Amino acid sequence: MTKTSMTQFVSESIDESLMNMNTCLICEVLEVDMNLFKADVLPLNDPEATPILDVPIAFHQTDQFVIQIPYKKGATVLVACSQADIDPLMFGGGKAASRAFSANDALIIGGINYFTKPIQNEHPDDLVIGTKDFATKIVLNEVGEISIKSSKFKVEADNIEFVGGTITANGEDLTTDSV
């Protein structure tokens, strides 16, 4: 084998290995199960791609709290492929396979908004939970204010306590003098 053909062989082998390594993929959600937090997705960058099934949906959570994003069919999502087999973690035990960066170990890590469909962001410096049109939203700003906008605001509680220097509703002062 000549030096040129050996170099070419090594280069082609590396290229082939890298083509089989998945890192991140932009995908379309085909089906979603928001009870089990998993979805079937289709990579959008490869016209010959096959669906990736039962992809876990990652979200912000701890043992006691969760922020849930309600993914729907047709949503565009970012999918990351784990460096190692996730089956033992997801299904509780067992031996990990030796695969790495496989589509079998994909995780939905967030939604993607295309540059061709910009969101008119009214709050670029604030933390916002809301609809994309901002018709319904909770906004926390850096000076400590919280704003809530909704067509209906429902509170269910055993006890509701309002504490403030001035409390108003529809411009009317509801503040009472404490005893």
**Residue 179 above 60 pLDDT?**
no
pTM for this predicted structure: 0.71
32: how many CB neighbours lie within 10 A of its CB? 22
Of the two residues 87 and 120, the one the predictor is more confident about is: 120
Grouping H, G, I as helix, E, B as strand and the rest as coil, residue 130 is strand
What's the whole-number average pLDDT of the chain?
84
Tokens of 57: 């949906």
Domains of the chain: 3-111 (2.40.50.230), 120-165 (no CATH)
Confidence check: pLDDT of 12 > 60 = yes
**Three-state DSSP class for 12?**
helix
Q: 107, 56 in Cβ contact below 8 A?
A: yes
Q: What mean pLDDT comes out for the span 81-89?
A: 76
Name the pLDDT band for 178 (thresholds 50, 70, 90).
Answer: very low
